[in-house]
Structure 1
């Protein structure tokens, strides 16, 4: 069995060590883009009026609610790939099983999600369901 060499003494690591010593500048605008993304993540998606005031619900919470509703109420043969809240609208990406009428399946899911959001939150939200894939089933 070959003797294991000490990686610290391996000359092939010299290039790695040299690269690690070099300072890498932060790309212009990176910090601002990250801060904007963090702020968007916490942005209020919907304001729910109530007797004692209003409740602000973030996009993350709306997204989780939509994911749960979609998983429970999606028609057979429809699988939710992703949910996002963008520009005050809910975007749902789905794949449909081959043989289903994609538009009808997407519309049925859109109606279910819209009705449940209205029921749960007491406000109407725009829901868009996009068929992005067909599953051979």
Structure 2
């Protein structure tokens, strides 16, 4: 497909439209997990040991850092939809440009975020990147 063509006119886009038209049920337990997260508020998710003590980094800091890294390091064609810390795991939702290999883009972003969080916090963080949408460009 040439760059000047409108991706929405590409016949492969019909598959994306059909998928988007299907109603997706709310995953079991999602509402309860969100309510629990709201009720517990921000909490310490990273305890970094140091030479003179330890540093406690709360969920909000990890969340903000992950958002910044995701925005700065997202590969071409990847848009960040949301970033959240849930049960000590960084969850990143993205949309990818039509024609981009979604799995490869998500994995590249996951590695970037994981590496940078580890470098800045001094401990490894679990990061999941989920492709939730496709955009035309």
Alignment of 1:1-137 (within 5 A): 37-39=38-40, 41-137=41-137
Where does structure 1 lack aligned partners over 5 or more consecutive residues?
1-32
TM-score (norm 1): 0.71
TM-aligned CA deviation for residue 94 of structure 1: 0.4
TM-aligned CA deviation for residue 58 of structure 1: 1.0
TM-aligned CA deviation for residue 38 of structure 1: 4.4
Asked whether the 8 Å contact 2:37–2:86 carries over to 1, the reply is: no
TM-score (norm 2): 0.71
TM-aligned CA deviation for residue 34 of structure 1: 7.6
**Any runs of at least 4 consecutive aligned residues in structure 1 with deviations exceeding 3 A, and if so which?**
33-36
Separation in 2, partners of 1:109, 1:36: 25
SS in 2 for 1:48: strand
* Structure 1 residues 98 and 64: alpha-carbon distance in aligned structure 2, compared to 1, 3 A threshold: same
Which residue of the partner structure matches residue 30 of structure 1? none
Q: Which has the higher contact order (CA 8 A, sep 6+)?
A: 2
Asked whether the 8 Å contact 2:59–2:85 carries over to 1, the reply is: yes
Q: Based on CA coordinates, which of the two structures has the bigger radius of gyration?
A: 1
Separation in 2, partners of 1:93, 1:130: 5
